């Protein structure tokens, strides 16, 4: 199938490029409009949870209580809120705001609530609820007043935070981060690709597919905004995922084509044959890899959180954009270029041997530093650094397997003490106004004044019963205050203050204790607030995780079986991926929860990690790790078909893919490293975590653990029961017989 596809693209190469050009123009014009259509609230809450229900009931019956905007006012030394001039300056600044943009304003002077005043009485804040029936309308109201919020006289300074103030700051930071990351990554990638390929033309092709992937991801996300809310954070993550995968796929396809064309750099027929062989091997591997990554990301659709759902949709669409580009646009470009793919060479290329068998199914080539060419032209050849390493490992498989598994397990141990937290203003860089506001409220004002635990009572108008319930809540250990903040009909909202960090386990246990308090007779209570939302997130994610494992594990097993005809290799690959992921998560805890390397990486550790982040990383990294597994096993399977020797096939596969996988991993790390410079802490965490995972996967796992375990398993690597072997013979995703040579000699 893939061989025929290569010939079809060759014959229609100009039509394919014309269609791609039109799509690219559309993406550049319309797709970039995604930035104005994304949801800025993040989407981390769990719909239909108890905390979400509490918020809906309170908004319906009592009106919104969220602090859309918090304006923090700070007086100069000696200036306190007791000074009449202080009050006049604040009230004059608030009074100058457009009345049609503000639904309600609360200050110390309108409420006389002590939580509005700092410990030294030099600072206070105003809480603004913005006009607007929905989030978009409130965002418009904020845009109309945000420049005026910090204009205050009387020797005061003002900084803006709150829910909408924070989300707007994050939105602006995400947009600027993407431009900066792309500006850094593209030149570095071009230099590395030139060094890898040794020529400017060949180097530019994967980069071109990467650029198309970025615009394609924007277009896919923009389309999705018409059917569902898409989180603003999806732009960063799908962009670096798409750019990294596209360059990976481009690297493998271009490398394989250059190897094939070097065998007979003649006329058009040779180009068509080279492209057909490239698609039958590297193209097949790209297709299997892309579907595997997409299946892994599809597991995100099982969750309730809009953040994960939008990441799932956006990630799947982005992967297919990359795969389609690598299987259509890239082969069309190669068909047009032919031998000119080696033009503008910057170094002298080693002339490859003209005898021997087909090269790696993964597209390895001389151009991956020429190391992949040396000794890679004849079947069964495992000479070279990577081959010698594989042979060394396979001579002592037990030692290498035990040491590497112990290392990965040790790295994963810190994950056992992970502390879960929410996403708030602390994800912004230190010094950002919204973060300064949040930190000041936390340290200089009564704790959790703007983020209390809220108990919403419905179904009773018995004030005495509600008051008694409030007193029972105030008596719960850990609660420092209980205040009725809204009453209408049979609905009452009681706000509870507490001293614990909202992201701490102590605060989560406090929510559980509050929920255990019996409601008033005949009434129903729902407990909400930011900490309750984290509790509900954890419960929802934990309930869905087994289904994620079943879907992703089962689908991956089926795909790898159809690709390699073995039931052992898929199981081995899944276990190795889990080991690699556990090590990665352990490192993430060491860095982003404990604060190690926070200085060089430029973030402030909060002591907690949002529960949605490891889920997102699990889905992406499982697919990407399987990506390299497919590249390697495709070559090993081809060599096993040629020689019948498991040991020789593994050594040759490692030799022929070692250089190219290392190059691909390096390029992916550059992409991720660029986005890891993001000023948004959890996007930085995802970027750093993925970089760590790829380093582990491309070195410890692929170079050491895979050869060791495959040597220990021997011929069992390729075992499948009779019925499944017949299924593989009929439906397996294999190269055509003409794409690879027949076995050189029987191996007993």
Average pLDDT over residues 687-704: 88
Let me know: does 177 contact 237? Beta carbons within 8 Å. Answer: no
| Cα–Cα distance for residue pair 651/76, rounded to 1 Å | 72
Question: pLDDT for 438-460, tens place per residue?
Answer: 889 888 888 777 778 999 999 99
Q: Which of 35-39, 201-205, 370-374 has the lowest mean pLDDT?
A: 370-374
Confidence band of 42 (pLDDT split at 50, 70, 90): low
For 103, the token pair is 């639904």
Question: pLDDT for 382-421, tens place per residue?
Answer: 678 888 899 999 999 999 999 999 999 999 999 999 988 8
Confidence at residue 140, expressed as pLDDT on a 0 to 100 scale: 86
SS3 label, residue 513: helix
Confidence at residue 348, expressed as pLDDT on a 0 to 100 scale: 58
pLDDT above 90: residue 328: yes
| Cα–Cα distance for residue pair 673/683, rounded to 1 Å | 11
Let me know: does 419 contact 593? Beta carbons within 8 Å. Answer: yes
Chosen CATH of 383-429+548-736 out of 3.30.530.20, 3.40.50.720, 1.20.1640.10, 3.10.50.40 = 1.20.1640.10
Q: Kindly give the residue spans of alpha helices, DSSP state H, lying in 47-161.
A: 50-62, 84-95, 108-111, 135-145
- Nearest to residue 125, comparing CAs of 71, 65, 78? 71
The pLDDT mean for the chain works out to 84
Question: Looking at per-residue confidence, does 496 or 170 come out higher?
Answer: 496
Question: pLDDT for 452-489, tens place per residue?
Answer: 899 999 999 899 999 999 999 999 999 998 888 889 88
Confidence at residue 589, expressed as pLDDT on a 0 to 100 scale: 94
Name the DSSP class of 744: S
Confidence band of 183 (pLDDT split at 50, 70, 90): confident
Confidence at residue 356, expressed as pLDDT on a 0 to 100 scale: 37
Question: pLDDT for 712-725, tens place per residue?
Answer: 998 899 899 988 88
pLDDT above 50: residue 505: yes
For the chain, the structural domain boundaries read 1-36+198-370, 53-162, 383-429+548-736, 430-535
Asked if domains 53-162 and 430-535 share a fold, the reply is yes
- Nearest to residue 185, comparing CAs of 243, 248, 235? 243
Strands in 156-161's sheet, in edge-to-edge order, are 102-106, 123-130, 69-75, 156-161
* Other Cβ atoms closer than 10 A to 509: 15
pLDDT above 90: residue 573: no
Confidence band of 364 (pLDDT split at 50, 70, 90): very low
Question: pLDDT for 513-543, tens place per residue?
Answer: 999 999 999 999 999 988 999 999 999 999 9
Name the DSSP class of 377: S
Instruction: Find the angle CA(15)-CA(21)-CA(22) to the nearest 5 degrees.
Output: 95
Average pLDDT over residues 654-679: 84
Average pLDDT over residues 603-621: 86
In percent, how much of the chain has pLDDT > 70? 91
pLDDT above 90: residue 680: no
Which of 127-141, 299-313, 325-339 ranks highest by mean pLDDT? 325-339
The CATH classification number of 430-535 equals 3.30.70.100
Confidence band of 629 (pLDDT split at 50, 70, 90): confident
What is the dihedral angle through the alpha carbons of 613, 617, 620, 623, rounded to the nearest 10 degrees?
A: -150
| Cα–Cα distance for residue pair 207/638, rounded to 1 Å | 28
Distances (CA, A) of 706 to 249, 300, 393, 715: 22, 28, 9, 14
Q: What ranges make up the beta strands (E) of 489-618?
A: 491-498, 524-528
| Cα–Cα distance for residue pair 747/62, rounded to 1 Å | 79
Confidence at residue 734, expressed as pLDDT on a 0 to 100 scale: 61
- Nearest to residue 703, comparing CAs of 737, 668, 667, 658? 658
Chosen CATH of 53-162 out of 3.40.50.300, 3.40.50.1820, 3.30.70.1320, 3.40.630.10 = 3.30.70.1320
pLDDT above 80: residue 100: yes
Let me know: does 581 contact 625? Beta carbons within 8 Å. Answer: yes
In percent, how much of the chain has pLDDT > 90? 29
Question: Looking at per-residue confidence, does 634 or 265 come out higher?
Answer: 634
Is pTM beyond 0.85 here? no
**Top-tier CATH class for 1-36+198-370:** mainly alpha
Question: Looking at per-residue confidence, does 248 or 358 come out higher?
Answer: 248
pLDDT above 60: residue 34: yes
pLDDT above 50: residue 353: no
């Amino acid at each position: 199938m893939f061989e025929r596809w290569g010939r079809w693209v060759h014959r229609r190469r100009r039509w394919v490029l014309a269609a791609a050009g039109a799509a690219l123009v559309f993406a550049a014009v319309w797709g970039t409009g995604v930035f104005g259509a994304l949801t800025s609230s993040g989407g981390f809450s769990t719909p239909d949870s108890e905390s979400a229900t509490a918020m809906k009931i309170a908004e319906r019956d009592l009106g919104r209580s969220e602090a859309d905007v918090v304006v923090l006012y700070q007086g100069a030394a000696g200036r306190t809120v007791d000074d009449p001039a202080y009050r006049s300056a604040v009230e004059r600044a608030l009074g100058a705001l457009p009345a049609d943009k503000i639904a309600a304003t609360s200050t110390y002077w309108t409420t006389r609530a002590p939580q509005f005043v700092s410990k030294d009485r030099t600072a206070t804040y105003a809480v603004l609820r913005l006009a607007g029936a929905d989030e978009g309308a409130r965002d418009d109201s904020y845009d109309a007043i945000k420049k005026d919020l910090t204009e205050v006289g009387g020797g005061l300074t003002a900084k803006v935070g709150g829910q909408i103030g924070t989300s707007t700051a994050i939105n602006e930071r995400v947009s600027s981060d993407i431009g900066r990351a792309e500006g850094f990554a593209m030149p570095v990638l071009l230099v590395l690709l030139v060094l890898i390929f040794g020529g400017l033309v060949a180097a530019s092709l994967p980069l071109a597919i990467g650029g198309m992937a970025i615009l394609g991801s924007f277009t896919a996300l923009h389309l999705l905004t018409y059917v569902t809310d898409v989180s603003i954070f999806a732009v960063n993550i799908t962009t670096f995922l798409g750019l990294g995968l596209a360059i990976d796929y481009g690297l493998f396809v271009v490398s394989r084509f250059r190897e094939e064309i070097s065998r007979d750099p003649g006329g058009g027929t040779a180009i068509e044959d080279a492209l057909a062989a490239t698609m039958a091997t590297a193209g097949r591997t790209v297709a299997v890899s892309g579907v595997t990554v997409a299946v892994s990301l599809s597991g995100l659709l099982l969750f309730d959180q809009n953040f994960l759902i939008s990441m799932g949709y956006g990630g799947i669409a982005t992967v297919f954009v990359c795969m389609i580009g690598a299987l259509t646009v890239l082969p069309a470009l190669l068909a047009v270029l032919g031998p000119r793919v080696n033009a503008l060479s910057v170094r002298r290329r080693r002339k490859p041997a003209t005898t021997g068998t087909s090269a790696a199914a993964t597209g390895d080539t001389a151009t991956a530093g020429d190391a992949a060419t040396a000794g890679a032209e004849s079947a069964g050849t495992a000479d070279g650094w990577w081959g010698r390493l594989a042979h060394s490992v396979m001579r002592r498989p037990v030692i290498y397997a035990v040491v590497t598994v112990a290392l990965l397990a040790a790295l994963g141990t810190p994950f056992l003490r992970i502390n879960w937290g929410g996403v708030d203003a602390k994800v912004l860089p230190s010094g950002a106004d919204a973060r300064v506001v949040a930190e000041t409220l936390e340290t200089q004002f009564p704790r959790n004044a703007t983020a209390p635990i809220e108990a919403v009572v419905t179904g009773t108008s018995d004030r005495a019963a509600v008051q008694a319930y409030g007193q029972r809540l105030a008596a719960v250990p850990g609660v420092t205050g209980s205040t009725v903040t809204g009453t209408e009909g049979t609905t009452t909202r009681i706000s509870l203050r507490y001293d614990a960090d909202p992201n701490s386990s102590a605060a989560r246990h406090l929510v559980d204790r509050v929920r255990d308090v019996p409601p008033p007779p005949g009434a129903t209570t729902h407990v909400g607030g930011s900490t309750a939302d984290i509790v509900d997130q954890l419960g929802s994610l934990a309930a869905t995780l087994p289904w994620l494992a079943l879907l992703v594990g089962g689908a991956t097993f089926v795909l790898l079986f159809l690709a390699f005809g073995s039931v052992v290799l898929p199981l081995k690959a899944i276990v190795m991926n889990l080991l690699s992921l556990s090590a990665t998560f352990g490192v993430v805890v060491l860095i982003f929860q404990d604060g190690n390397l926070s200085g060089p990486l430029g973030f402030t550790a909060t002591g907690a990690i949002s529960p949605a982040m490891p889920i997102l990383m699990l889905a992406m990294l499982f697919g990407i790790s399987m990506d390299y597994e497919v590249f390697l096993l495709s070559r090993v399977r081809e060599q096993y078909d040629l020689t019948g020797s498991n040991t020789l096939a593994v050594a040759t596969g490692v030799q022929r893919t070692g250089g190219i996988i290392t190059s691909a991993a390096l390029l992916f790390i550059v992409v991720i490293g660029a986005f890891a410079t993001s000023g948004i802490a959890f996007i930085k965490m995802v970027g750093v975590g993925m970089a760590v995972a790829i380093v582990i996967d491309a070195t410890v796992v692929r170079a050491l653990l895979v050869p060791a375990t495959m040597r220990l398993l021997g011929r069992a690597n390729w075992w499948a029961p009779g019925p499944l072997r017949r299924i593989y013979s009929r439906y397996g995703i294999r190269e055509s017989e003409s794409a690879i040579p027949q076995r050189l000699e029987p191996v007993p």
